[in-house]
Structure 1
Amino acid sequence: MRSHAGTPPSRRRFLTLSAGGAVAGAAALSGCAMQVSSAVSGPGETVTLMVKPDDISPELVKQAQKDIGVKIVTVRYDLTKLIGMMTNGNPPDLVRGVGATDAPYFAARDVMQELDPYFAGSSVLDLDDLDPVNDLWRYDGRTQGKGPRYGMAKDFSQDSMYWYNTALFDTAGIDHPPETEPVTYGEWLASAKRLTRRSNGQTTVFGGSYNGVQTPNLLASLTVAAGGNLFSDDFSRVDFTTPEARKALGWYIDYCRARVGPSIIQPDPNTWDGPTYQASRMAMSGNGYWLGGLINTDKKLAQVSRLAPAPVFEGGRRISSCQAGTGLWMPKKARNKDAAWRVFEWFFGEAPAKARASSGWGIPTLKSLRPLMPAQETYQKRALEVQNAELEHFSVIAFTPYATSDSLFALFNQTAPAAMQGDMSVDTLAGRLNSVMNEQLKRGKEQVG
């Protein structure tokens, strides 16, 4: 295995990368088997990307070679494999990440390259052109949304917005939600109950789906919408018993108990909203603008579909967060940083970014690319007007650096079903979530040091 200047991060710092820290530590020990590229210097460099198959297609890999003369080698994203590569001083050159939750986690562990000097020298990515969603990729050592930039989102949506099928509303005799003013979460749930259709004990039409990107991200956003914060000021604890967090948790448990939409006690057989909404078996889908990329493949469905603002809590703030902001970051120990940055510029600011912007599968993260968003059809223009008005309500919802969203999600899923089924009170659930999640956060804080 090639040696590398500088000391790689210790395994100890990574033991909270997953809910099963021991697994992560064990995986790190076998990292020598994971060397995937040996970059050469000069023209024709090789850059290794750890991504998921949907992040970059084989066609784009070929296009990069043609456009910028860099060979891209991809390795499938896998957290334990990433730990192994980093602890052995052989990280990928660029890694996919979910800005909303991964950025503070990895930045706090000092394994991400600060990108401010690269942005400062770039003729492709102008800081003034960056959409505020890219602040999800900033971390000042304490709070997400401020400080150095560690990555960038490839596109985004405001994930608390929702799509609805006007034909299903008309059939149920329910007024359409307003397109510029938000409904309350209570009104949304009341409509979902009226829109749900059941036959012989089976749900034939879901009235509404509202699960966010992951439950911890959703509950953090809902708590801010209710006027509070799920995390303590130093992000080392959660508190579901505050009035605002209790309101957020109570609403989500009410949603699950009502069985108006998918949840862990009533899974969607399709595993996600897209096919169910396409089949007109879901009246409202709590997904942001990006779902329009799927909806617009069926013109008939697109004509009866509308995008609506994120709901609000009665008396709460109007906020519309991004719970994902998926993009790329550069490990501090990457070997081929200049070539990796060239790929970064190309991916986020050149041909691939323009193609993504015009696809309708997300909002571009460069403001200058917004004119490429599809607006040929009346229904596209309509959705775009709602989306553009919603942008002013965006805000970064800071997430804890002391645990992965996946690990908190697993703890939630182990603890919450009894409450969803009506066998445990929301207050009891709040106390139990505090107990199990704060134990996880405590371990994570000890390991960050």
Structure 2
Amino acid sequence: MSIPATSPFGRRRFLAASAGAALAATALPGCASSVDSGSGGSGSGKTTLTIMSVANEWDAKTIKVAEKALGMNISLITTDTTKLNAMLAAKNPPDVVRGLGATETPYFAARGLMTDLDPYFAKSTALKPADLDPVNDVWRYDGKKQGAGPRYGMAKDFSQDSMFWYRTDLLDAANLDHPSATEPLSMDEWLDFGERLVKRKLGKVKVYGLNATGMGVFPQLMGMTASAGGSLFADDLATVDFSSPEALKALQWYLDYAKADIGPNVINVNPDGWDGPTYMANRMAMSCEGYWFSGQISTDAKVAEVSRFAPAPQLGSNRISPCFGATGFWIPRDAKNKDAAWKFFEWYFGGQPAQDRASSGWGIPSLKSLRSKMPQTNAFQKQAFQVQQQELDYFKVLSFTPYAQQAALEGVLNKVLPGAVRSKTAAGKVADTLNTGMNALLAQGKELVQ
């Protein structure tokens, strides 16, 4: 799935490594020492590593730092789903591909397109399996479910994406108590907060009370269904069932949220494209963005002073706080420079770049040993860190389907939900329509995999 530049992950900057990166790279062990020298392509005799990633994380300066540290040339291809699929089909893929582990791993792994990285992890002292945060399990797939089996990639950092930020100044102005830092709100309580915080002028929303779907509607429906004790996907991941009591409850909640028009939704999208500009401009009271958003908030001391972090709201009694991103990299099965790609892994995920990211506040480190580097200088950072540390206990892998990509499932939602919201169609009827549309897609995908 391509990631638009306006999305939250399009804003998560890869921080250019300091001059010490080159020194750190020289200490990389294991497979890093046996880089093949083929496919140089530049006349320099050096390996050329082809990386598919978002352009705003790889400016010219960043590429030069990486090339110096790794001792190889880097060729950047901007993330493009169509181009990636064509390259994979032609068996001439990039050496390293940026992706979302939580929603993409089963899709590519089930098609035999990813390299099993377990042999590399087994030899590495830079990236030890025991040091990997449990979130990296979303990059595992055993052929039947996510979270087990071989490791096919690694997260560069992550967030638990149903948590939310709120502005104390807007809550205080509305005479509302601040949410607990330890006990999650119920989804109904959260909706009530949003309805009390929204501000309108001449019938149009001027200040959003709440954005409830930071990583997309489908993942949030998955999370809500899980917290209610159910699963949106069947056990074999080949069908969805929005008609189950738990999924229907989640769907009803989203329909109520959209009808209330208190935040960005399938009918009225945020013209800013994402929450960053809106929240920072005092036009959004609560934002469903994970810990990574602290990096954005930290850019303005006045906004940081009135911002607080809160646990993920729950639809039921099965407390869960999932990750729907775990953005990182994977190595295609047909990549030409796998050892060079692994050297990149060790440097990028375990070297200076990883340390820089950990201290930036733009995500939780993927290595447990780097958590102590998370920023804890001021009151804003300390509060966010404490809330996040407590929330880690409630992470759970929610297995995504191998038979369709998130963009396709979101497409069905975007086709069905706007009309349903406008016409106030009953949730049960909406569920039937969603089941029909999504299950047809999943059936087609299953035929291609088998």
1:208 is the counterpart of 2:210: yes
| Paired residue type of 1:391 | L
Give the match for residue 387 of structure 2: 386
Q: Which residue of 2 aligns with 1:328?
A: 329
Q: For residue 382 of structure 1, give the secondary structure of its aligned residue in structure 2.
A: helix
Residue identity opposite 1:139 in structure 2? Y
Q: Contact 2:237–2:400 (CA<8 Å) still a contact in 1?
A: yes
Partners in 1 of 2:306 and 2:75 — Cα distance?
42
Is the 1:192–1:260 contact (alpha carbons within 8 Å) kept by the matching residues of 2? yes
8 A contact 1:415–1:433 mirrored in 2: yes
Task: Supply the AA of the counterpart residue of 1:272.
Answer: W
Deviations 1:84-137, CA, capped at 9 Å, x for gaps: 112212111011111111100000000100000000011110111100010000
The equivalent position to 1:280 in structure 2, one of 276, 282, 293, is: 282
Match of 1:226 in 2: 228
Name the CA distance, whole Å, in 1 between partners of 2:96 and 2:234: 32
2:32 aligned partner: none
**What residue in structure 2 maps to residue 301 of structure 1?**
303
Which one of the candidate residues 254, 257, 273 is aligned to 1:255? 257
Q: Quick one: distance in 1 between partners of 2:268 and 2:159?
A: 26
Q: Does 1:421 align with 2:422?
A: yes
The ranges of structure 1 where at least 4 consecutive aligned residues each deviate by more than 6 angstroms after the TM superposition are: 40-43
- Secondary structure of residue in 2 paired with 1:113: coil
What corresponds to 1:148 in structure 2?
Answer: 150
Question: Secondary structure of 1:401's match?
Answer: coil
Query: 2:56 aligns to what SS in structure 1?
Result: coil
Query: Distance between the aligned counterparts of 1:84 and 1:432, measured in 2?
Result: 32
Q: Which residue of 2 aligns with 1:356?
A: 357
Distance 1:305 1:445 in 2: 45
Residue in structure 2 matched with residue 345 of structure 1 by the alignment: 346
Structure 1, residues 251-274: CA drift from partner, whole Å, max 9, x if none? 111111111100121111111111
Counterpart-to-counterpart distance in 2, 1:426 and 1:173? 33
Shift of 1:422: 3.9
Alpha carbons 2:225, 2:315 under 8 Å: kept: no
Amino acid aligned to 1:352 = P
Q: Secondary structure of 1:188's partner?
A: helix
Q: CA deviation at 1:222?
A: 1.2
- Asked if 2 retains the 8 angstrom alpha-carbon contact of 1:108 and 1:401, the reply is yes
Q: Structure 1 CA distance, aligned partners of 2:188 and 2:423? A: 19
Q: What code does the residue aligned with 2:410 have?
A: F
Partner of 2:436: 435
Q: Which amino acid aligns with 1:357?
A: A
Give 1:386 shift.
0.4
- Equivalent position SS for 1:224: helix
Report the equivalent of 2:119. Answer: 117
Specify the alignment match of 2:136 in structure 1.
Answer: 134
Identity of aligned residues (%): 51
**Counterpart of 2:200?**
198
What is the DSSP-based 3-state SS (H/G/I as helix, E as strand, rest coil) of the residue aligned with 2:172? Answer: helix
1:447 is aligned to 448
Give, in angstroms, the shift of residue 221 of structure 1.
Answer: 1.2
Q: Is the 8 A contact 2:39 2:47 kept in 1?
A: no
Deviation digits for residues 21-43 of structure 1 (CA, Å, limit 9, x no counterpart): xxxxxxxxxxxxxxxx9436997
- What is the aligned-residue RMSD (CA, Å)? 1.6
- Counterpart position of 1:370: 371
Q: Partner of 1:82 in structure 2?
A: 84
Other structure's SS at 1:164 match: strand
- Quote the residue 1:265 is aligned against: 267
**Structure 1 residue 166, shift from structure 2 partner:** 0.5
How many Å separate the matches in 1 of 2:70 and 2:45?
Answer: 10
Q: Distance in 1 between matches of 2:152 and 2:280?
A: 37
Instruction: Tell me if the contact between 1:225 and 1:313 (Cα under 8 Å) persists in the aligned partners.
Output: yes
Report the TM-score, using the length of structure 2 for normalisation.
Answer: 0.90
CA deviation map 1:36-59 (0-9, x unaligned): x94369972111001111343332
Q: Distance in 1 between matches of 2:91 and 2:400?
A: 28
Q: Give, in angstroms, the shift of residue 60 of structure 1.
A: 2.4
Please give the secondary structure, in 2, of the residue aligned with 1:54.
helix
Would the aligned equivalents of 2:145 and 2:399 in 1 still touch at CA under 8 Å?
yes
Amino acid at match of 1:409: E
The structure-2 alpha-carbon separation of the partners of 1:200 and 1:428, relative to structure 1 and needing over 3 Å to count, comes to same
Q: Which residue of 1 aligns with 2:294?
A: 292
Return the letter of the residue paired with 1:199: K
- Does the Cα contact within 8 Å between 1:43 and 1:69 map onto a contact in 2? no
Q: What is residue 56 of structure 2 aligned with on the other side?
A: 54
Query: Secondary structure at 2:50's aligned position in 1?
Result: strand
- In 2: Cα distance, 1:357 partner to 1:68 partner: 21
Equivalents in 1 of 2:251, 2:40: separation in Å? 49
Q: What does the per-residue CA deviation read over 1:119-158, in whole Å, with 9 as the maximum and x for residues that have no partner? A: 0011110111100010000000010000000000111110
CA contact (8 A) 1:70 1:343 kept: no
Q: Give the conservation status (yes or no) of the 8 Å contact 1:257–1:422.
A: no
In structure 2, list runs of 5 or more residues that go unmatched: 3-37
What is the distance in 2 between the residues matched to 1:293 and 1:57?
19
Could you say if the C-alpha distance between residues 158 and 246 of structure 1 is closer, same or farther in structure 2, counting changes exceeding 3 Å?
same
Q: How far apart are residue 219 of structure 1 and its match?
A: 1.1
Residues 43 and 363 of structure 1, relative CA distance in 2, 3 Å threshold? farther
